[in-house]
């Protein structure tokens, strides 16, 4: 229903031997796009005229999915839209199709999905406050935001999410970051992220390195920047870039030219921290585009 609604094209669902969804095929004017996952773990993305690409796409257990749902208690607008679209289609087809047939089809689909979920490992139960990892309390705050800065546009309302522990927080943040990176690379060809240090920052990088979907990122088309750094010699264990390399950077195929570390105290600017900061600011400004500054270049904003 969601695909039919968003793409405005007919969508056909057929059964397979599983597990779960095993393949998605989209017919386009340029040829078919196929995402095939026969074993529920590793998928193959096939696009006509391009080499096949392996994508880590492990099918998660019901307990993981429920835990994820419990971490998001806000309305699921995407699911609501899909349901509304399906109900509208029922209304449109009611004139030519027997109502009981349409209802049976929808109910059969729901029952199949529920039955399939029931076969997975169920979430354990226990006394209040002793839920399994990922089932702890959540706090979500919604803040009203006015118009964005110069250049127009609206700033999306921020959300504050409290996770049960720091490991779960890092895993959730890593999953969202991978999605954002993949979307940016698909839209613009490359992506840029700004890193920080500390236990949480390095924990996020470690979670990225062990995330099932990590191979979905084209690491060679990712630019890395730092929002802060300690002005210490290159390789010092207290430098954020050193800790980042240990947590993730040395484990993925990055393009070294796209790793934009802040200058070290034994670098080209010696002990002049102001000169080093000015040089990094100039590098950032040179890499920025108009969309990063509300429609104007940094020199004219």
CATH of the domain at 220: 3.40.50.1360
- Looking at the fold, whether 6 and 80 belong to one and the same domain comes out as no
244: in domain: yes
Does residue 239 surpass a pLDDT of 90? Answer: yes
Say which residue, 242 or 112, is predicted with more confidence. 242
Answer yes or no: pTM beyond 0.85. no
- Looking at the fold, whether 254 and 174 belong to one and the same domain comes out as yes
Number of domains the chain is built from: 3
Does residue 79 surpass a pLDDT of 80? Answer: no
Range of the domain at 7: 2-56
Residues linked to residue 46 through DSSP beta bridges, in sequence order: 34
Q: Extract the tokens encoding 210.
A: 């062990």
159: in domain: no
Q: Are 19 and 2 in contact (CB under 8 A)?
A: no
Q: Are 105 and 126 in contact (CB under 8 A)?
A: no
Q: Span 85-102, mean pLDDT?
A: 51
Q: Are strands 53-56 and 191-195 parallel, antiparallel or unpaired?
A: unpaired
Phi, psi of 55 (to 5 degrees): -130, 125
Return the pLDDT at 124: 38
| Crossing angle between the packed helical segments 62-71 and 99-118, to the nearest 10 degrees | 100
Does residue 219 surpass a pLDDT of 80? Answer: yes
79: in domain: yes
- Looking at the fold, whether 44 and 74 belong to one and the same domain comes out as no
- Looking at the fold, whether 247 and 171 belong to one and the same domain comes out as yes
User: Residue 103: which pLDDT band, with cuts at 50, 70 and 90?
Assistant: very low
270: in domain: yes
Q: Extract the tokens encoding 89.
A: 């289609």
Alpha-carbon distances, residue 65 vs 68, 69, 81, 120, 182 (angstroms): 5, 6, 20, 11, 21
Does residue 198 surpass a pLDDT of 50? Answer: yes
112: in domain: yes
Q: Are 40 and 212 in contact (CB under 8 A)?
A: no
- Looking at the fold, whether 42 and 88 belong to one and the same domain comes out as no
212: in domain: yes
CA-based diameter of the chain, in Å? 80
- Looking at the fold, whether 7 and 91 belong to one and the same domain comes out as no
Residues linked to residue 156 through DSSP beta bridges, in sequence order: none
150: in domain: no
Of residues 160, 162, 174, the one with CA closest to residue 210: 174
Does residue 152 surpass a pLDDT of 70? Answer: no
- Looking at the fold, whether 35 and 51 belong to one and the same domain comes out as yes
Does residue 275 surpass a pLDDT of 90? Answer: yes
């Amino acid at each position: 229903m969601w695909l039919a609604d968003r793409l405005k094209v007919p969508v056909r669902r057929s059964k397979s031997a599983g597990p779960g969804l095993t393949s998605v095929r989209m017919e386009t004017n340029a040829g078919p796009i196929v995402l095939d996952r026969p074993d529920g773990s590793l998928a193959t993305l096939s696009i006509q005229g391009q080499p096949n690409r392996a994508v880590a796409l492990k099918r998660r257990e019901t307990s993981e999915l429920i835990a994820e749902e419990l971490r998001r208690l806000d309305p699921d607008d995407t699911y609501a839209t899909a349901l509304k679209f399906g109900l509208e289609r029922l209304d449109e087809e009611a004139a030519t199709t027997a109502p009981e047939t349409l209802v049976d089809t929808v109910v059969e689909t729901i029952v199949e999905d529920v039955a399939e979920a029931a076969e997975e490992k169920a979430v354990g139960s226990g006394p209040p406050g002793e839920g399994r990892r990922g089932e702890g309390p959540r706090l979500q705050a919604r803040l009203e935001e006015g118009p964005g800065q110069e250049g127009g546009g609206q700033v999306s309302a921020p959300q504050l999410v409290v996770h049960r522990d720091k490991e779960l927080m890092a895993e959730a943040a890593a999953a969202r970051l991978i999605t954002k990176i993949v979307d940016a690379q698909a839209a613009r060809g490359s992506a840029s992220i700004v890193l920080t240090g500390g236990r949480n920052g390095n924990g996020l990088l470690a979670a990225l390195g062990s995330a099932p979907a990590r191979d979905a990122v084209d690491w060679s088309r990712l630019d890395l920047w730092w929002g802060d750094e300690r002005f210490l010699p290159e390789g010092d264990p207290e430098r954020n870039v050193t800790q980042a390399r240990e947590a993730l950077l040395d484990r993925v195929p990055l393009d070294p030219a796209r790793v934009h570390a802040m200058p070290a105290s034994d670098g080209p600017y010696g002990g002049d921290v102001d000169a080093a900061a000015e040089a990094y600011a100039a590098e950032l400004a040179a890499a920025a585009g108009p969309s990063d500054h509300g429609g104007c270049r940094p020199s004219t904003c």
